């Protein structure tokens, strides 16, 4: 039986002083998914929530949780302009990951959305830190919902209202 997969998506900027609260909520959602048979988790490797999610998953794995970290990255040079301390976090995730997938050698317009679509297409569910519309997190959540994947929000009470549907958004068939 193939392990069910789940992807992470979230904002790049986390509220100051809330990282541990976000991590606790994330742990609860991951543990619930593991209890439902999820074992593979896709992480896009962006600053903010993605790095936190990857580190949290690795900590759970180290404590015995049967989870795999699959890094789905938009391009090989994603972290090239990041601060050194963020690059170290990113590199540690790549070294500890069970699988690393680069979707492009170098940054191109649209490569971030390509990464988001890849993660959704290879997932059965999505865990999201979504507190405002716009950007890649909202895009990924829309893609997951359009595919029919359950979306588990860290803060369901803060979910912003849906934006009007854009028929040009989230065309999974463009990537497949």
**Model pLDDT, residue 2:** 65
Q: Are 125 and 6 in contact (CB under 8 A)?
A: yes
Could you tell me the CATH number of the domain that includes residue 150? 3.40.50.450
**Model pLDDT, residue 84:** 97
> Domain of 62?
4-174
pTM of the model: 0.91
Residues of the chain with pLDDT under 70: 1-2, 162-176
The number of folded domains in the chain is 1
Over the stretch 86-124, which tens digit does the pLDDT of each residue have? 999 999 999 999 999 999 999 999 999 999 999 999 999
Q: What gap in Å lies between CA 79 and CA 123, rounded to an integer?
A: 24
DSSP state of 80: T
């Amino acid at each position: 039986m193939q392990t069910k997969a789940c992807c992470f998506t979230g904002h790049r900027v986390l509220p100051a002083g809330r990282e541990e609260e976000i991590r606790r909520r994330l742990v609860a959602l991951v543990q619930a998914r593991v209890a439902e048979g999820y074992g593979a988790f896709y992480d896009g490797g962006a600053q903010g929530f993605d790095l936190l999610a990857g580190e949290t998953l690795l900590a759970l794995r180290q404590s015995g949780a049967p989870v795999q970290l699959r890094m789905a990255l938009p391009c090989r040079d994603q972290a090239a302009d990041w601060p050194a301390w963020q690059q170290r976090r990113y590199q540690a995730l790549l070294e500890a990951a069970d699988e690393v997938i680069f979707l492009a050698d170098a940054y191109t317009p649209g490569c971030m959305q390509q990464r988001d679509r890849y993660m959704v297409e290879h997932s059965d569910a999505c865990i999201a830190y979504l507190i405002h519309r716009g950007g890649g997190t909202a895009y990924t959540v829309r893609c997951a919902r359009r595919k029919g994947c359950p979306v588990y929000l860290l803060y369901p009470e803060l979910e912003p209202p849906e934006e009007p549907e854009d028929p040009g958004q989230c065309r999974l068939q463009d990537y497949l």
